[in-house]
Amino acid sequence: MSALVVTGLRVAGDRELLRGIDLELAAGGALGLVGESGSGKSLTCRAVMGVLPRGLRRTGGTILIRGRAAMVFQDPLAALDPLMRAGDQVAEVVRHRDRSGRRAARDRTLGLFADVALPEPERASRAYPHELSGGQRQRVLIALALATRPEVLLCDEPTTALDVPVQQEVLALLAGLRAGLGLALLFVSHDLPVVAGLCDDLAVLADGRVVESGPTGRLVTAPRHPATRRLVDAVLPVPTVPGEHDD
Amino acid sequence: MTEAGLVVEGLRVTLGGREILHGVDFAVAPGRVVGLVGESGSGKTTIARAVAGFVSSRGSIRLDGTELGGDRRHRTVRRSIQLVPQDPYTTLNPRLRIGRVLEELLGLHRLPPGGGRTARRARAVALMEQVGLDAAALQRRPSQFSGGQRQRVALARALAVEPRVLLADEPTSSLDVSVQRTVLDLVAGLSRDAGVATLLITHDLSVVHAVCDEVVVLRAGEVVETAPADRFFTAPAHPYSRRLLAAVPRLEASP
């Protein structure tokens, strides 16, 4: 069963930017969308979510989502309201989604904060976005997305702005949510090692088209399309320190 | 023996009443590329700003044995330390052609010595060649370059005044991964050829592994480890260095 099926998606502004995108994301699966900047990764994500930037419109194709989709953005500081406490922002979504009262919304918000492993959920819910660290803000944003009870989580470079150790924690959280809640993930990133660590399948975008797709292992070991090969070749290797495996 | 290159000792910087750097020591020899790594907020950029003289600091910053102290108004001192920014788009005048930017800069510093306008023009062409762009690029404005080309231009501008120290602050983090390597190799290659002491500031250990000779690990305003790159990547001494290394996502570790 598929959680998300995109067929022949076209988006245009002054010129055509997405030129017939086909994607399929299995229920509970994880699909990585990779490509150079300007290839159409983020745009695909936004088109699926129905939040295209001003001046762009969908000119063709179909998008089928089983259930609900929610999106996690790259820069949580820009996505959160700076004048509203983190807990209130999430509770607002909960009240709207669940049609629940203030009390119930507050309890569920604290539950969500615990789900995304925010340390001290009570304190975090009273904090304003600027009072939280980058990693904590990204967790709030993920809680905000989970508040809508989605089946599909669209992640647009959610760890790019984070330091490597924090990045690793957020990736582990996403993998955990996928396993625990059966969430399907569409994960956009320019960082191949990050995507490869999380996703079973990859779709490589170049110039508004999917030029290659398939199982992650096959694509990174035997890339066929030049665009895929460029991405694989661009990865700067870092040796693994003997006996220093993270577990 | 006289001291060569950049030497920083006991560097302390206080900003807004809070001490950001708590006594930082490191050295960059001429022609060497030293990677300064650490998480955001660790003080990496503050170090660059202190060395460049943009923020006041305590401790010692020496260049070829000469204490720089607060004397940054002197043109030759200012000239010897050049910064390559993260996003050159924000520091290049969008209305000026690159040729004009370079020629004005050379004129200001009376370079090449004793040369006139023709010499400056020839030098500008040579600089473009050094960074892998052709002379036609001199006629273009910043917006007419790709991100990678713009970073080459920024490098040409920094090298134009023949600096002794190059401070490169995340020079490739705004670039596509596919052009990252070429720009890094260029920065490292030109620094080595020109005998410039280069401090490469990054949070990305793969960048350090690609081009650096030595690594300085910064954590919360303190240096926790300084090591030759090959030793750092095979036998990191500090637990924090080991944690940083273990967290790097690797393609080999994929399912």
Q: Report CB contact under 8 Å: A200, B255.
A: yes
d(CA A124, CA B237): 35
- pLDDT given at position B193: 93
- Tell me whether residues A193 and B203 touch, CB distance under 8 A: no
Q: Between chains, do B254 and A216 touch, taking CB under 8 Å as contact?
A: yes
For residues A142 and A170, membership in a common domain is answered with no
Of B39, B203, B233, the CB nearest to A239: B233
The reported pLDDT for the residue numbered B89 is 72
Please indicate, yes or no, if residue A247 is contained in any of the structural domains: no
Confirm whether B100 is domain-assigned: no
Q: What are phi and psi of B232, to 5 degrees?
A: -60, -45
Residue A192 is part of a domain; what is its CATH number? 3.40.50.300
Q: pLDDT for A29-76, tens place per residue?
A: 999 999 988 899 999 999 999 999 999 999 999 999 999 999 998 877
Given a cut of 60, whether residue A109 has pLDDT beyond it is yes
Is residue B222 included in any domain, yes or no? yes
CA distances from B76 to B50, B55, B195 (A): 17, 19, 17
Is residue A5 located within the same domain as residue A121? no
Residue at B34 is within a domain: yes
Q: By CA distance, what is A193's nearest residue in B?
A: B251
Which contiguous run of DSSP H or E holds residue A142?
helix A134-146
Are A3 and A58 members of one domain? yes
**A138 Cβ contact list (under 8 Å, min separation 6):** A72, A76, A158, A159, A162, A170
Does residue B28 sit within a domain?
yes
Predicted confidence at residue B235, as pLDDT, reads 94
Same domain, A170 and A236: yes
Residue A7 and residue A125 in one domain = no
Domain assignment of residue A78, yes or no: no
Query: Do A111 and A47 share a structural domain?
Result: no
Whether A241 and B246 lie within 8 Å, measured CB to CB? yes
Q: Would you say residue A41 lies in a domain? A: yes
A207 CB near a chain B CB, below 8 Å?
no
Give the chain B residue whose CA is nearest to the CA of A217.
Answer: B255
B246, A191: Cβ pair inside 8 Å? no
User: What is the 8-class DSSP label of residue A235?
Assistant: P
pLDDT at residue B70, rounded to an integer: 57
- Chain B contact present for A192, CB below 8 A: yes
Residue of A238, A240, A241 to mutate, interface with B, max B Cβ within 10 Å: A238
- Is residue A7 a part of any domain in this protein? yes
Residue A141 belongs to domain spanning: 84-149
Is the model's pLDDT at A217 over the cut of 60? Answer: yes
Same domain, A26 and A130: no
| Nearest CB to A193; choose among B209, B235, B251 | B251
The Cα–Cα gap between A229 and A41 comes to 17
- Cβ contact, residue pair A241, B235, below 8 Å: yes
The A residues from 19 to 78 touching B (CB cutoff 8 Å) are 36-37
Position B121 in a domain: no
> How far apart, in whole angstroms, are the C-alpha atoms of residue A88 and residue A75?
19
Q: Identify whether B85 is part of a domain.
A: yes
Question: Do both A3 and A34 map to the same domain?
Answer: yes
Report DSSP letters for A63-123, one per residue.
Answer: EEESS-EEEE-S-HHHHS-TTS-HHHHHHHHHHHHH---HHHHHHHHHHHHHHTT-SSHHH
Interchain pair A239, B203: CB under 8 A: no
Residue in chain A closest to B147 (alpha carbons) equals A37
Closest residue on chain B to A171 (Cα): B249
Cβ neighbourhood burial of B115 (10 Å; 0-12, 13-18, 19+): middle
Contacts of A217 in chain B (CB under 8 A): 254-255
Q: Do B209 and A237 make contact, defined as CB atoms within 8 angstroms?
A: yes
Q: What is the CATH number of the domain that holds B196?
A: 3.40.50.300
Number of structural domains, chain A?
2
Same domain, A62 and A182: yes
CB-CB contact of A134 with B203 (8 Å): no
Instruction: Pick the residue from chain A with its C-alpha nearest to B202.
Output: A163
Tokens encoding B57? 């600091």
Residue B29 lies in a domain: yes
Tell me the pLDDT of chain B (255 aa) as tens digits: 578 999 999 999 999 899 999 999 999 999 999 999 998 889 999 999 999 888 889 999 999 998 886 556 566 677 899 988 887 777 788 899 999 999 999 998 888 988 899 999 999 999 999 999 999 999 999 888 888 889 899 999 999 999 999 999 988 887 887 788 888 999 999 999 999 999 999 988 999 999 999 999 999 999 999 999 999 999 999 999 999 999 998 886 444
Task: Give the per-residue pLDDT at B75.
Answer: 66
The pair phi, psi for residue A148, each rounded to 5°, is -85, 5
Give the number of domains in chain B.
1
| Token digits of residue B127 | 């600089």
Orientation of helix B177-194 relative to helix A226-234, angle to 10°: 50
Would A38 be classed as within a structural domain?
A: yes
Tell me the backbone φ, ψ of residue A162, rounded to 5 degrees.
Answer: -100, 155
In a domain, A227, yes or no: yes
- B255:A240 CB<8 A: no
DSSP H or E segment with residue B198 = strand B197-202
Domain shared by A181 and A223, yes or no? yes
pLDDT tens by residue, A1-12: 899 999 999 999
What is residue B53's predicted lDDT score, i.e. its pLDDT?
Answer: 87
d(CA A173, CA A150): 16
The CB density around residue A164, as the number of other CB atoms within 10 Å, is 21
Looking at the structure, do residues A36 and A88 belong to the same domain, yes or no?
Answer: no
> Can you tell me whether residue A5 is helix, strand or coil?
strand
| Residue B13 in domain | yes
Q: Which of these three, A105, A123, A149, is where a domain ends?
A: A149
Asked if A237 and B255 come within 8 Å (Cβ–Cβ), the reply is no
Q: How many CB atoms lie within 10 A of CB B17?
A: 5
**Arithmetic mean of pLDDT, A176-201:** 94
Boundary of a domain, candidates A115, A149, A183: A149
Asked whether residue A15 is assigned to any structural domain, the reply reads yes
Q: Write the DSSP assignment of B129-157 as a string of letters.
A: HHTT--GGGGG--GGGS-HHHHHHHHHHH
Q: Which of A149, A172, A203 is the last residue of a domain?
A: A149
Q: What percent of chain A shows pLDDT beyond 70?
A: 98
Instruction: Inspect the interface and report whether the beta carbons of B203 and A163 lie closer than 8 Å.
Output: yes
